[in-house]
Amino acid sequence: MTIEHKIREHLHHEAEKMDCPPAISKRIEQSYSKYLLRKRSQKPMKKRMIAGIVATAILIPTAAFAAPTLIDMLTRTPMTAEQIKTDKVGKATLEKLYRAFPETKSFEIIEASAVQGVQTSIILQEKGGGGKKITLHTNSATGEIEHIIQENWESREKPLTDLTDLELKSKVDHLISTLYGSIEAYEFTMEQMENPDQKTLMLNYAQKGSERPVYQVMVQDNTISVSVIGGETASSNSKVEGFFSTDGLPDYFADAYLNDEKLFSLLNMSPSELKQELAKGKSVVEIAAAKNVSKQQVIDVIAKTQVDLQIEAERNGEIPNNNLSYEQLLKAIEPKVLQVIDYKAEAPSNK
């Protein structure tokens, strides 16, 4: 049993014996939502490491007070190897992996889990343990492998971070192109992060004229971690950048949801006006309420736009067809919409 599972079981056990003070529960919920937004940011924070582990470490000492709020947000459903092989998303994910890297057919599935309608995760390792390992996180709605972690695929005697820039790029290029297709047309940047504990390199692959990368890669020791960001060409005048920001830099996760003409029409606001109100520490839900627009109306508008974009991408062959109904797609995207519209930025100090 992994340490993560042990901690989760302990928290569940302790939470069952305790009553959560509403103020503490709300505070932890907001902190975790803020962490999620930062973690899913689609703009690289230059010279900074994503602080997921730090945020988790801060939350764990008080997590027992958060039942059921925080516990429910962290809960994943474990799956056996046989279950993941017959699960629609899991089976498709494994087929993609086996086509890209045939040798993984002999790997063991050592762990699998799912967050219903959101994500399916699979970890495979060479038989015997301690050898090559690969982790896949797949979007349950789109069927796209959004995150892949490749560990111990190179000699331990020479870590990836000891390679020349050209050698390292070649390794990363191979992983991305083998799993996702040609990257010849992408522009490339590499920089070393400020991480005193371990040398960490960040690589970005972006289309020409793009405002953000299509692929963002972190390299440490003998681990390559690739996240599919998606990329986007320069915004039109009807869109703004960075509805929310982190440490003064735009946070692109929310932009993909809030740059929605139907949302602006519903709120009777321009993109710039919405951004200004959010900067005051208000949530989209609060801004909507002030205009007599319900939370459900906001959810419906954004979710429908996102699903329509997904269906169009499926028709164009940009992503695989997942054969889900329109209602199922709406249900799958709703948790992400809620995450964005309930989020509050820190209001500026009056000092």
3-state class (DSSP) for residue 246: strand
Q: Is the pLDDT of residue 255 over 60?
A: yes
Q: Is the pLDDT of residue 167 over 80?
A: yes
pLDDT at 244: 78
pLDDT at 21: 55
Tokens of 160: 């990836």
Q: Is the pLDDT of residue 98 over 80?
A: yes
Q: Is the pLDDT of residue 113 over 70?
A: yes
Q: Is the pLDDT of residue 153 over 50?
A: yes
Scan for tokens 């039109």, then name that residue.
236
Q: Please state the pTM of the whole predicted model.
A: 0.52
DSSP 166-233: HHHHHHHHHHHHHHH---TT-EEEEEE---TTS-EEEEEEE-TTEEE-SEEEEEETTEEEEEE---EE
Q: Is the pLDDT of residue 128 over 60?
A: yes
User: Closest Cα to residue 263, out of 226, 246, 288, 289?
Assistant: 288
pLDDT at 58: 29
Contact 107, 125 (CB under 8 A): yes
pLDDT at 347: 62
Q: Is the pLDDT of residue 257 over 70?
A: yes
Tokens of 220: 């440490």
In this prediction, residue 169 has a pLDDT band, given cuts at 50, 70 and 90, of very high
Q: What residues have CB less than 8 Å from 302, skipping those under 6 apart? A: 257, 258, 260, 263, 337, 340, 341
pLDDT at 105: 93
Chain Cα centroid distance, residue 181: 21
pLDDT tens per residue, range 174-220: 999 888 888 888 888 998 887 777 788 889 898 877 767 888 898 98
Q: Is the pLDDT of residue 44 over 50?
A: no
| Helical ranges in the chain per DSSP H | 3-16, 22-39, 52-59, 69-74, 81-86, 88-100, 165-180, 252-258, 261-267, 271-278, 284-289, 295-315, 326-341
Whole-number average pLDDT of the chain: 75
Q: Is the pLDDT of residue 63 over 80?
A: no
Contact 125, 108 (CB under 8 A): yes
Q: d(Cα 317, Cα 13) in Å, to the nearest integer?
A: 47
In this prediction, residue 91 has a pLDDT band, given cuts at 50, 70 and 90, of very high
